Structure 1
Amino acid sequence: MISMADTVKMPADIARECEESVEYVQLVADVLLLHDDVEPTAVEPVTSASDSYVKCRDTIVARTKGLAILVRDLTVQLRGAKLSDVSRTLRSTAEAVIALTEAATHAAYTIGVADPRSKPYQPGLVDRYRFSRARFGITSACRKFHKDYGSLTEQQIVQVSSQIAANLTVLTESSRMAADIAPDPMSQDQFRQCAKSISGTTAALLSAIKCYAKSRQEKDREKCIIFTKPLLETINAMMAFGSLPEYSGVAARMSEQGREAQCAILGGAMAVVSSSIRLFTSTASLIENHEDPVQWQKMMQCCKAISDSTKLLSGALRENSITGSQRAPFFAVNSQE
């Protein structure tokens, strides 16, 4: 195990962050890459399939370059046992992989519906991907109150509170937007009640967190844990309700040619995700066995796998292109939290 005078991060902290990075990236892969129906994930609305594809391709190229730099920095920081730097790089790497996955998913959707024989996606009342990311953000934040996470500094408690509040804003806004466009008064009222339920359970939790930040006593920490339970139950109920077939929209219908091009891009993106997950897992092992040459060899193999997978994705993007004459309608989906 690494022994160093790093008062900010300990090996156990890094191992936990590696685990959370795996969970975060896996969530995005499950929703975007392993789902039968690929949906658009662009933030900006676009009217031209060719323009959208080019934007996604340029984003992916930039992200792959950035990912290569992060992976290189991570290995250097691990060799120097700079745990605080490793922590920051891990978070940046996970975000880079997620952004790359989002762009690849939209590129795959774009090229699929660009074929005149395909039909575009019709959005539902709730943005499934945006909601899933917000729920994950809240769940991972709530877990930090459990004792196996160790003691929390006042700054960490404030950060957890901010993370919960920001993601809850996403969920309540999603509920209110769904209520505005729901097809009948009953559904409208149910979505509004979902927003009220989330707000109500949040108030008690944030009050408990505020108290715990001041007192730092275990009895107040226990109250935080108690109030996370009804909040998470409410969020899960909202997710299940919004995912009902009557609210989930209409999936895109891809032609055979569009599906083939789509699968090539998604396959490249999945390769990036898989190799990144192996990198996070390898980092956790390396933190605990810093002098083990076998662990360092595995780390180098992971770095090469990421490089190979980004080349695979770039190749799929080059081999499949959209001309300016191929156009299809798109629906903007704000996937940012």
Structure 2
Amino acid sequence: MSSLESVKTPSDVSRDCEESIDLIQLVADLLLLHGDPEPTALEPVTSASDSYAKCRDTIVARTKGLAIMVNELATQIRANKLADVSRTIRSGAEAVVALTEAATHAAYTVGVADPGSTAAYPGLVDRYRFSRAKHRILGACARFDLSYGILTEQQILQISAQIAHNLTILTETCQIAANQAADPQSQDQFRQCSKSISGTTAALLASIKAYAKTRQDKDREKCVIFSKPLIEVIDAVLAFGALAEYAGEPARMSEIGKSTQQAILGGAMATVASCVKLFNVIPGLVRNVADTEAWKNLMLCSKAVAEATKLLCSALREHSIEGLK
């Protein structure tokens, strides 16, 4: 995201809104719309009730954070503090992502807790984690396009660090899959996947290093050129890991389990939709702070965010692990 630069103009804020919306919608698409029923916990838990409680605590904390975000945005926009607006937007997007992840796992946990449900059998590749890392690499590589304007050396190095960090996630995912694969051929293929990602990265990172020193467009163009084969390799590895023999099995929900799961996911989807609408209003408002209609829309969106998070928290209370016992 544009956290890699100092935001000074409405155009910068608009770009942050667009990138935040892209991230939120990617996560919603992976977890809420097209994802199979499976766990998404990012930390180990000792029991289903413990897992559910952690998710609930995360969601409550994030809903409070979103309430603060809404109030801060209005104040910052009125004061024309665009750098603060941008930071608030980015932190708000991360809060929505964390809330969505926690809600998805809570919904899965309570759904499979019903005696008629069967838990998921995880695949070798964590598709959600892999797709998230791919999205962040795409966003970082896109900043080498000239339409993003002049980049400082510090910004270029930060982009490089972002790419390297997420590439580590991808190679680690491949190595974990190799260790868990049942047959030697699959083990070797996943190891080769990890090597392919590392191999195509070398030329890109070398180009970025050169560009950071010269700051010349010809070196910037090399970054664009070498980012393309990297993305192609990442897509190929993701497709390979999604093959039926490696994909695992989604949970089989009973009617009761499915109903409780959908109630929680519905609250999460409402929160996502309301935050996307909120971020869509901001670009026009920072360009014209005197736009009374835009302020009305901002207030309506703020109210929608509050109502959506209330709906989600209500669903968590009504459909708990304890309630199934």
TM-score norm. by structure 2 comes to 0.96
Where does 1:164-203 land on structure 2 (aligned, <5 Å)? Answer: 164-203=163-202
- Aligned residue in 1 for 2:135: 136
Q: State the partner residue of 2:59.
A: 60
Alignment RMSD:
1.3
Aligned to 1:17: 16
CA contact (8 A) 1:50 1:324 kept: no
Q: Deviations over 1:83-122 (max 9, x none)?
A: 1101111110000001111110111001001111111011
* Separation of aligned partners in 2, 1:80 and 1:52: 42
Runs of 4+ in 1 over 3 A off after TM superposition: none
Distance 1:156 1:39 in 2: 37
Shift of 1:37: 1.6
* TM-aligned CA deviation for residue 8 of structure 1: 4.3
Question: Partner of 2:3 in structure 1?
Answer: none
Separation in 1, partners of 2:221, 2:309: 45
Matches within 5 A, 1:104-183: 104-183=103-182
In the other structure, the counterpart of 1:334 is none
Q: Is the 8 A contact 2:103 2:268 kept in 1?
A: yes
Structure 2 runs not aligned, ≥5 long: 1-5
Using the alignment, how far apart are the partners of 1:290 and 1:135 within structure 2? 36
Aligned to 1:44, the other structure's residue is in SS state: coil
Asked if structure 1 preserves the Cα contact closer than 8 Å seen for 2:124 and 2:247, the reply is yes
Q: Point out the structure with the larger helix share.
A: 2
Q: Within 2, Cα distance between the matches of 1:224 and 1:140? A: 13
TM-score, normalization by structure 1: 0.92
Contact in 1 for aligned 2:125/2:247 (Cα 8 Å): yes
Distance in 2 (alpha carbons) for counterparts of 1:237 and 1:285: 39
Corresponding residue for 1:89? 88
Q: Which amino acid aligns with 1:35?
A: H
On the 8 A contact 2:24/2:96 being kept in 1, the answer is yes
> Taking every aligned residue pair, what percent have the same amino acid on both sides?
65
> How far does residue 163 in structure 1 lie from its aligned partner after superposition?
0.6
Distance 2:178 2:8 in 1: 44
Check conservation: 1:32, 1:39, Cα contact below 8 A: no
How many Å apart are 1:227 and its aligned residue? 0.5
Greater relative contact order structure (CA < 8 Å, 6+ sep): 1
- The match for 1:45 is 44
Shift of 1:35: 2.1
1:215 aligns with 2:214: yes
Call closer, same or farther: CA 1:279–1:252 in 2, change over 3 Å: same
Q: Is contact 2:41-2:105 (8 Å) kept?
A: yes
**Aligned residue number for residue 250 of structure 1:** 249
Displacement after TM superposition at 1:36 (Å)? 4.8
2:297 maps to what in 1?
Answer: 298
- Please give the alpha-carbon distance, in whole angstroms, between the structure 2 residues aligned to 1:168 and 1:42: 21
User: How many angstroms does 1:11 deviate by?
Assistant: 1.3
Matching residue of 1:286 = 285
Report the Cα offset of residue 292 of structure 1.
Answer: 1.1
Amino acid at match of 2:225: I
Conservation of the 8 A alpha-carbon contact between 2:7 and 2:13? no
Q: Which consecutive residues of structure 1, in runs of 5 or more, have no partner in the other structure?
A: 1-6, 327-337
Shift of 1:188: 1.4
Mapped partners of 1:250, 1:282: distance in 2: 40
**How far apart are residue 268 of structure 1 and its match?**
0.1
Structure 2 counterpart SS, 1:323: helix
- State how many pairs are aligned: 320
